Amino acid sequence: MTKEQKNQIIEVLKGKFSQYDNFYITDTESLTVEQVNKLRRACFDKNVEMKVAKNTLIRKALESLDAEKYSGVYDALHNVTALMFSENPKEPAVILSSFRNETKGEKPQLKLAFINGELYAGDNNLKALTQIKTKNELIGEVITLLLSPIQRVIGALQNKPEGEVAAAPAADAAPASPQAPAAEDTPAAE
pLDDT of 5 > 90? The answer is yes
pLDDT tens-digit profile of 49-108? 999 999 999 999 999 999 889 988 999 999 989 999 999 888 999 999 999 988 888 888
Domains of the chain: 3-132 (3.30.70.1730)
Q: Are 95 and 42 a contacting pair, CB within 8 Å?
A: yes
For 125-154, the pLDDT digits (tens) are 888 888 777 777 777 878 877 877 777 778
> Which of the four pLDDT bands, split at 50, 70 and 90, describes residue 179?
low
